[in-house]
Structure 1
Amino acid sequence: MQTIENYQYDKKGFLGAGSFGSVYKAKNIKTGEIVALKILDMKLFQDQFMIDSLKNEIKVMQTLTSPNVVRMLDVFGNKQQTYMAIELCDSDLRSVMHKKGHIQEQQAIEVLAQLMNGFKDLVSHNYIHRDIKPENCLVKSNVYKVADFGFATKVDITGRQLLRECVGTPIYMSPQILNKHQYSAKSDIWSIGMMYYEILFGKTAWSCRDMNSLLRSIKTQPLRFPYERPISENSKDFIKKCLMIEEANRIGWNEIFTHPIFTMKQSGQMQQKQNYELPQQCIKILRKMQEVVTENNIDPHFIFQRFDKDKNNILDAKEFKELILAVDPNTTQYEIQTLFTRICGKDQIVNYIEFQKLFTEFDFSDLNDRAGHIIKDIQAVIKANNMNITQIFNKYDKNHQGDLDYQEFYNLIKVIVPGIKDYEIQLMFTKFDRDNNGAVSFPEFQYVLSKGTGQTQKDGITQRASGVLKQLQNTIRINNLDISKIFQRFDKSGDGAIDQEEFFQLLKAIDGKISRNEAASVFHVFDKNHDDQISFEEFKSQL
């Protein structure tokens, strides 16, 4: 047990560590109050900016008095260490969200209202926080409190004063900060909107695993609300007003505290019905369409106009059918008719406003497919940073056998997205390892990641085709077969190259049920220079 002035603590009470020190559970000897004692090593404060940030944090916390702000109880120290006795809380909002997946709207509004009460205290003293995120919102006995004021600064709350410092957490940064432009006090309002969206849906409004992909997503993708989890118009309006890209259009601090989400008495039934009650099969069609549109950066207006033959901003049943089949040729007539009937109304036509709303307001992705959402985030990072998935795969395939074991896969993903959690990588691995053999082949890797990255294969790799390729690779490796002799055997023409028919016969020898289309998809993996034949070097490189 150690005693520092009026506080006692020991190593058993360790709560966590940060960049500048550690936090312990401690007891005030005089009052008996249990506190969080933050012990900061001043040697780690290597420049004036860090020292000023610490002084600022202390000053802000001593100023604020709201029950929805974490209280500073005491501060003392010497040249070697600074001690901060802070109100001890039970958990943080991130932990609550992780445990629940998402928070029901009525409770989410209550959480938001409490935090806004804390922000109101901050704003009333002309401060903005600049690092609003779930980790900096603590909870004690079901009371939510704003915490961590290291980046807080004095500012003109009306928005007339512009700042330049790039501080905070990228996921919650406003577009102005991401673009390294000047920003105002409204930057915190953007962060609040991003956080409230995440509280409601258990996912972020845009793919945001790094700054480049987040900024690209904000610029190219509309703000959408998950169809599977309807929320009230008040919540939608609050989020939309917080997440206006241009600061001039974003709601201000003078208006935000009186938004109807806080001032109107919420009814018992928070969730309003969607305009369209769609069966699951229709949702799947729209999900597929949305994926195609997003992956290829297609403007919904462009799709609509392409099939609006008479250019009257209306699609009849025939035009609508042609549009759907162009997006997904496997859609059945019954599914198309069901979808058309659901969205056309009594007039038996689909106008552009209806079509656009369906595409731009709703997110039809499967909220329960956590691995799928992570993969989409990684696809966005690859595209935004112009990464080459073939080069990435080859770099981490240490034994050059054409597949990645779990550790190789783990190391690769960590490089693409350094902040990704271990459990997220485990979820993803099962999605990549399509044949469940404990390794990810290049075709499996390419099949999952090529979508939406501009590196799509001609036909894609089906599960059967991927399995056949793996079987060929394993057969050669296990039996120590001579690759050159296999090549010569199937090079029937003897011209030093294998064409599609010869390659098809090779794969049929491994799996008699493989189709020509599936064989063609594997052929394109081998045919690196796209000359419609496989040279021995191309053949050898895959095996």
Structure 2
Amino acid sequence: MGEKKIDKYVFNVKNKAGEGSYATVYKGVNEKTGEKVAIKMLSKSVINADDYLREGLIQEIKIMQKLKSPNIVQLLDVMETSNNYYIVQEFCDGGDFDELLKKRKILSEKEAIKFLVDVLNGFTQLIKNGITHRDLKPANILIDKATFKLADFGFAKCVDNFKKDMMSSMVGTPLYMSPQILDHKRYNSKTDVWSIGFIFYEALFGKTPWTARSPAELLKNIRSQPLKFPTDKIPVSQETLDLIIGCLQPDESKRFSWDEIYKHPAVAQYFTDFIKGNSKLEDKAQYLINDIRLMIIKDKLDLTQLFAELDMSKDKALDVNELGRFLTRVDKDIQRDEIEYIFNKFDEDGSNSIEFEEFKKWLEDNSIHVDQEQQNRDKQKKQSLLQKNNVEERANYVIEKLKLSIIKYNIQLIDLFKKFDKSADLRLDIKEMGMMLKRIEPNITEDETKTVFDYFDINKDGEITFQEFQTNLEECIVRKK
């Protein structure tokens, strides 16, 4: 009695694995393979009556189809009947992290680090796909054979629905949302960094860093009560404490970025390949930033008009394909993973679309300004040397290319200088400087070489000393550090 069959999957309605406001999860079996599965059943009448719920379901399916990782619960199938929708996922036999914490109270530092590494490994896929979870909490982290897996992406992008759910689920439970979400302020993917730090703290110390009975009280406590660690009772290494402090900065601008987390000494050894891959993509992004800068200035493009031109769908936002068409104009050899990486840098709030303010902010953060007046202010800065004259524009391009090469290949300035200082007098004449520039840009003209030379020759004595060379490239030294 109570047995149901949906296509090749069989389950008993008495055999529940979990239940929420909008869905019931059953333990089931794939009849053909004998594989255990989790079957999430959602009532069509409930889902279709609420646009937010329907959007949340669609988003969950789309996201889970994208994500492939041993630390993310895998989507196996999606089906529907006249009455219900069914999402079939891999079955996790160990319950969820919330249940584990209630049973164990605390984890050892070694166990907690293992948990954190699993969660961060799952997040590498979210980061790659530009997805912000937004609803990370212990109950949304499942356990299968001692492996921790991220689950429940129903509110990963459906923000309005998420806020509604947050308000209704607050009573009696500690919240893991960032101060920005609690305060209904604009936020970015660092909201997940906060949640990770919050859960990691709880795993180590058996309690959350702040508690409250309402969102307003929680927000007040976060802002008024300093973060404290009960290390007198539970000793934890300074390295681990430092990681938590970086994650739990109420001010988003001071909170750790993903890059800072993955490079942190507490976990960096587990993510060397991810760090290297991101480093290569960042180098590519920096080269493209320079090319975009030059294109906008050369063609005197207005960002508002440019955005409108790129927005083919006229929905006042760019998707990855619309941005990709623009980036292909800049670099015809750009790869899809490079487009997606740059798209995610623009898409600060993780909404999977780029609004004009995000487009403008990212370009302005990289010295590309929104109108001609701002461009002119930027041109006045000595280091940019962005003039209307074509020769000076090309000269600036070569200078930027030189700077990027120094950073990318970690070139020591003194070694580079001495290599072309054929007279060995720690000075470069225009011929020696020209040889260096031809290595960077083989097609550089004499006029362009002269313009670059004049840029470096600060005292205009016809020679470039190493001090002048270093002064003009000091931003490279800072960025390499």
Q: Matches of 1:128 and 1:167 in 2, distance apart? A: 17
Q: Report the CA distance shift for 1:154/1:50 in structure 2 as closer, same or farther (over 3 A).
A: closer
Displacement of 1:79: 4.6
Q: Matches of 1:116 and 1:22 in 2, distance apart? A: 28
1:239 alignment counterpart: 244
* 2:55 counterpart letter in structure 1: D
Contact 1:65 1:71 in 2 (8 A): yes
1:17 alignment counterpart: 19
Displacement of 1:173: 1.2
Contact 1:93 1:139 in 2 (8 A): yes
The alignment partner of 2:253 has SS state of helix
Report Cα offsets for 1:297-350 as digits up to 9, x if no partner.
xxxxxxxxxxxxxxxxxxxxxxxxxxxxxxxxxxxxxxxxxxxxxxxxxxxxxx
Matching of residue 122 in structure 1 with residue 118 in structure 2 = no
Q: Matches of 2:262 and 2:236 in 1, distance apart? A: 20
Q: Matches of 2:162 and 2:19 in 1, distance apart? A: 29
Matching of residue 250 in structure 1 with residue 250 in structure 2 = no
TM-score (norm. length: structure 2) = 0.51
Report the RMSD for the aligned CA atoms in angstroms: 2.1
Tell me the matched-pair count. Answer: 258
Displacement of 1:164: 10
Q: Among the aligned pairs, what percent are the same residue?
A: 41
Displacement of 1:114: 0.5
Matching of residue 220 in structure 1 with residue 257 in structure 2 = no
Find the partner of 2:97 among 71, 76, 93.
93
Report Cα offsets for 1:140-180 as digits up to 9, x if no partner.
0000000000111399xxxxxxx996765761111111122
Larger Rg belongs to: 1
Report Cα offsets for 1:215-263 as digits up to 9, x if no partner.
1211111000002112111111111001111111111122222211112
Segments of 5+ residues of structure 2 without an aligned counterpart are 271-481
Q: Matches of 2:220 and 2:158 in 1, distance apart? A: 31
TM-score (norm. length: structure 1) = 0.46
Q: Matches of 2:213 and 2:236 in 1, distance apart? A: 26
1:42 alignment counterpart: 44
Report Cα offsets for 1:392-450 as digits up to 9, x if no partner.
xxxxxxxxxxxxxxxxxxxxxxxxxxxxxxxxxxxxxxxxxxxxxxxxxxxxxxxxxxx
2:8 alignment counterpart: 6
Find the partner of 1:132 among 130, 136, 140.
136
The alignment partner of 2:153 has SS state of coil
Matching of residue 206 in structure 1 with residue 210 in structure 2 = yes
Q: Report the CA distance shift for 1:77/1:166 in structure 2 as closer, same or farther (over 3 A).
A: closer
1:151 alignment counterpart: 155
Q: Matches of 1:164 and 1:38 in 2, distance apart? A: 19
2:337 alignment counterpart: none
Q: Matches of 1:52 and 1:212 in 2, distance apart? A: 28
Q: Matches of 2:182 and 2:6 in 1, distance apart? A: 42
Contact 1:164 1:182 in 2 (8 A): no
* 2:235 counterpart letter in structure 1: P
1:76 alignment counterpart: 79
Find the partner of 1:188 among 188, 192, 197.
192
Contact 2:92 2:144 in 1 (8 A): yes
Matches within 5 A, 1:443-458: none
Q: Matches of 1:254 and 1:154 in 2, distance apart? A: 26
Segments of 5+ residues of structure 1 without an aligned counterpart are 156-162, 266-543
Q: Matches of 1:14 and 1:221 in 2, distance apart? A: 41
1:63 alignment counterpart: 66
Q: Matches of 2:257 and 2:153 in 1, distance apart? A: 21
Contact 1:72 1:86 in 2 (8 A): yes
Contact 2:200 2:244 in 1 (8 A): yes
Q: Matches of 2:128 and 2:165 in 1, distance apart? A: 22
Find the partner of 1:229 among 226, 234, 248.
234
Q: Matches of 2:46 and 2:74 in 1, distance apart? A: 25
